[in-house]
Chain A
Amino acid sequence: MPALLPASPPVVAVAGLAKRYGGVTVLDHVDLSVRWGEVRALLGENGAGKSTLIKILSGVVRADDGTVTLNDERVDLHSAHAAQELGIATLHQELAIVPGLSVAENIFLGQRKAQTFGVVRWRTLRREAERLLDSLGQHLNVRQDADQLSPVGKTMTSIARALSRDAKVLILDEPTAALTDQETAQLFAVMRRLKERGVAIIYVSHRLEEVVQVCDTYTVLRNGQKVGEGDIGDVTIPELITTMAGRPVDTIFPSRGGAGTGVLLRAEGLGGKRCHNVSFELHEGEVIGIAGLAGSGRSEVVRLLAGAQHRRTGSLEVRDAAPSNVAAAPLRLTRRHTIGRAQRLGITLVPQERRADGLVPDSIERNINLTTLGRHTLGRVVMVPRRARRHAEQRHTELAVRSRGIAQPVLRLSGGNQQKVVLAKFWALSPRILLLDEPTRGVDVGTKSEIYHLVRQRASEGTGVVVVSSELPELLGLCDRILVMHEGRMVGAFDAATTTEDELLHACYGRTR
């Protein structure tokens, strides 16, 4: 094992940690330790066992075997409360912010601070909250409803909460998923302050560029086993990816195909909630990317096209994109545009949040068939189960979903496979205009690459694709053209082959060079 930091004793150390769910081993005797002031990246694809390890450390799940030591003392993490009392704080992907309570109240949630016989001394509470946030270099209005905060504000509130409980170990689970690059930089600055105070940090992220920036050491899990660890300085991103995937991932992005000349969709002066005067054309076989900061209106553009959101101004013209009707004249869409109508015209949106908007709590089969019910019927009304099953099987194979079969409940699948089921459902519509909103969020590298290839394959069959993403490297690798949104307006269009991440980033912030 390589030497890590100078030999200070670990703040937290787990040894031989194991967990089985039924017959499935999700953690197979894993060791991991974090020293004083160390930031350790915990890496692995979806289903590698990261979440389970975090859940055990935060007291949500009990390990079957193994020990956890905190400052050389063996501890029993029998409940989330116990873990917090011992000084292990966890920031989950969905931050536990209580809406309707102020920032100060959220920071001291569940603590008997600044109280006299159960009566809260508000001024003391607020001062304490401000002091904590100041120590992080943050200036928030602590009387504000915490739910109104920006994503980074919520993160800071949660970190302040951890500090108020004197956390010695801080677990950050995908803390930057909802943050813009600027906000991410803000978070990293705070992490450096925490390091100086000696907080041991476990950092979980799919974004390896960030991991390299902010972490000191790394541990890689695969299929519940530790398959690598060391200093971040001794390793490159491609090496990390290879370790995570267990195989070399040489071509993450497929090669670009040639876009056709036929115009599939022409948007002129589109306007709606949070986007104004957006105009562009989408060609056959073209993959367009839409970049922008969170709240820039990047998602709203595709939601407008898909009928998921109301269009107030502008005109939308599609060449009736249903496969049977390719040669027809352009069709001007009325404002009464719903998701169902859009789908019948060949326009399909794959929504952003797969758990919230993509999946119903049912089997894989029922999820895949949801968009095409009428096809597996007698007279469009009576379902023919055999036909439905056969169709689902076919899509299931086409998108290489890894499961125990189409009868399996979809919510038991890993994130990447859930996303494939969502894609399969919309693939079944054979859209001529495919709109993807954050298609690879929270998905491991291997599956990401598979998704990119699937998207390109569709494009090569003549489908026009629009991809909205917060990850610029993704847009640069996958798209032909990239449009940039800033404060609801389109501020630039770039050729993906010639532009740089830096140039796009500037445009995202509304700056021109």
Chain B
Amino acid sequence: MTDTATVPQGQAPRGITFDRVRPFLGPGALVAMVVFFGSIYPDTFLTKTNLVENILQQVTALAIVAAVQTVVMVVGEFDLSVGGLAALAAGFAATILNTATIDGDPKQPGSLLLAVFLCVVVGLVGGALCGTLVSYLGVLAFIATLAMNEVFKNFARFRVQGKPVYGLVQNNFVAVAQGKTWAVPNTIYISAAIALIVWFLLDRTTLGRKMYAVGGNPDAARYSGINVKFVKWAAFAICGVGAALGGLMQAAYNATANTTAPEPWMLKSIAAVFLGMALMRNGRPNLPGTILGVVLFRTLENGLNKTDINNYIQDVINWGAVIVAVLPPAIARIRENR
């Protein structure tokens, strides 16, 4: 963080303000963490296996979900149903792909294409349902998506009778997810591609501009001729598809669809977006910030894992760090309004 003298474009020259140092905080914190843990645990932390497999590979599914969570948060809402929907979509796909029925009888696996298609459709329908509730029927996102999360999750459990679905090893489904290209896990490429698509959507399309307008001031957006309800609905639908893809990738990598695996995504994806808002672009949700947030959180988690600190206390530190990260911009905003 030595570049604080650089002035971002369009800002008035007025001393060192929080807005100026903000772009350097996130990357700075990441470097600091890698240096810190790397110097203490050069053999376990600072290895290619740890950095690529245990840190980056581990967050690929979460990164997809956090990316689409960003979309919903850009329009000023949030989606608590991502975990449940991921479990449901992955569960549906898995019951087509598995080589044995839930009861254990051998069965012929179905088509891979059909499974992926079904997964996307479930995500789209689920997301659209949440979007309809929030946008067209006026239910608060908190209760609508919280309840839908339980609906999705338990419907998924019903579908798989509460058991993990094993044996998804057909048609290269698992092989692709577990494979590597140029020594980098394929899942990282897939995540990066989806993140890129979401970034393009938010920053380079008219729909993205409309989303930021709706999130910034829905009334002004409406008077500007934007179909506010549709834009919000679309954000939820996109989020549903992303959640489903995240769930599918997780299932493929583990060769198992497990309804409990996506449970932490609800909180972690929202936390990642908040981290991104705190670290980049004036406190608006943004894709690069979200991805940085996901990686930061995981790096800290992984680093602490190498220590002999109590497991519960590790999580206290992880989430305490989230508070520490969102605090300075919050205080800066209060100061600015004085």
* Chain A contacts to B: CB under 8 angstroms: 21-24, 60-61, 308, 338-340, 342-343, 349, 351, 356-363, 366, 369-371, 373-374, 377, 380-383, 404-405, 407-409, 425, 429
Contact = CB atoms under 8 A, between A and B. Distances in A.
B227 interface: yes
Nearest to A352: B223
A366 B206 CA distance: 11
Contacts of A405: 10
Contacts of B207: 381
Interface stretch (B120-128, B151-159, B177-185, B209-217): B209-217
Contact of A370 (B14, B204, B209): B209
25 contacts: A22-B12, A60-B338, A343-B225, A357-B220, A359-B220, A360-B212, A366-B209, A366-B212, A370-B221, A373-B206, A373-B209, A380-B206, A381-B205, A381-B206, A381-B207, A382-B204, A382-B205, A383-B205, A383-B208, A404-B10, A404-B12, A405-B10, A407-B10, A425-B224, A429-B225
Contacts of A371: 224-225
Given A60-B338, A370-B221, A377-B206, A340 B227 contact: yes
Contact of B14 (A22, A382, A409): A22
Interface string B129-151: 00000000000000000000000
B219 interface: yes
B10 A383 contact: no
B34 to A, nearest CB: 33
A23 B14 contact: yes
Contact of A374 (B13, B204, B206, B282): B206
- B: interface residue count bin: 20 to 34
Contacts of B13: 23
B212 to A, nearest CB: 7
Contact of B216 (A61, A351, A360): A360
B226 interface: yes
A70 to B, nearest CB: 22
Nearest to A363: B10
A362 B217 CA distance: 10
B107 interface: no
Nearest to A61: B338
Interface of B: 9-10, 12-15, 204-210, 212-213, 216-217, 219-227, 282, 338
Contacts, number: 84
Contact of A340 (B15, B206, B219, B225): B225
Nearest to A341: B225
Contacts of A340: 225-227
B10 A359 contact: no
B223 A351 contact: yes
Contacts of B220: 356-360, 370
A425 B9 CA distance: 23
Given A351-B219, A373-B206, 19 more contacts: A23-B13, A343-B225, A356-B217, A356-B220, A357-B220, A360-B212, A361-B216, A361-B217, A362-B212, A362-B216, A363-B10, A370-B221, A371-B225, A380-B206, A381-B206, A381-B207, A383-B208, A383-B209, A409-B282
Given A61-B338, A308-B223, A425-B224, A360 B213 contact: yes
B12 A349 contact: no
A368 to B, nearest CB: 10
Contacts of B222: 308, 339
A340 B227 CA distance: 7
Contacts of B15: 22
Contacts of B213: 360, 362, 366, 370
A335 to B, nearest CB: 18
Nearest to B17: A22
Contact of B223 (A60, A339, A363, A409): A339
B125 to A, nearest CB: 24
A47 to B, nearest CB: 15
A404 B14 CA distance: 14
Contacts of B227: 338, 340
Nearest to A365: B10
A404 B226 CA distance: 28
A360 B231 CA distance: 15
Contacts of B212: 360, 362, 366
B126 to A, nearest CB: 25
A381 B207 CA distance: 7
A370 B224 contact: yes
Nearest to A381: B205
B228 to A, nearest CB: 10
Nearest to B282: A409
Best-surrounded residue of B207, B217, B282 (most CB of chain A within 10 A): B217
A383 B14 contact: no
A357 B213 CA distance: 12
Contacts of A374: 206
A359 B212 CA distance: 12
A129 B213 CA distance: 44
Contacts of B209: 366, 369-370, 373, 383
A363 B281 CA distance: 12
Nearest to A405: B10
Nearest to B222: A339
B44 to A, nearest CB: 45
Contacts of B205: 381-383
Nearest to A351: B223
Nearest 6 Cβ contacts at the A-B interface: A407-B10, A22-B14, A360-B216, A373-B206, A340-B225, A343-B225
A240 B219 CA distance: 37
A60 B334 CA distance: 12
A466 to B, nearest CB: 16
Contacts of A349: 223
B17 to A, nearest CB: 8
Best-surrounded residue of B13, B206, B208, B213 (most CB of chain A within 10 A): B206
Given A22-B14, A23-B14, A357 B219 contact: yes
A373 B338 CA distance: 35
B223 A357 contact: yes
B156 to A, nearest CB: 34
Contacts of A343: 225
A380 B209 CA distance: 12
Contacts of B9: 407
B331 to A, nearest CB: 17
Contacts of A366: 209, 212-213
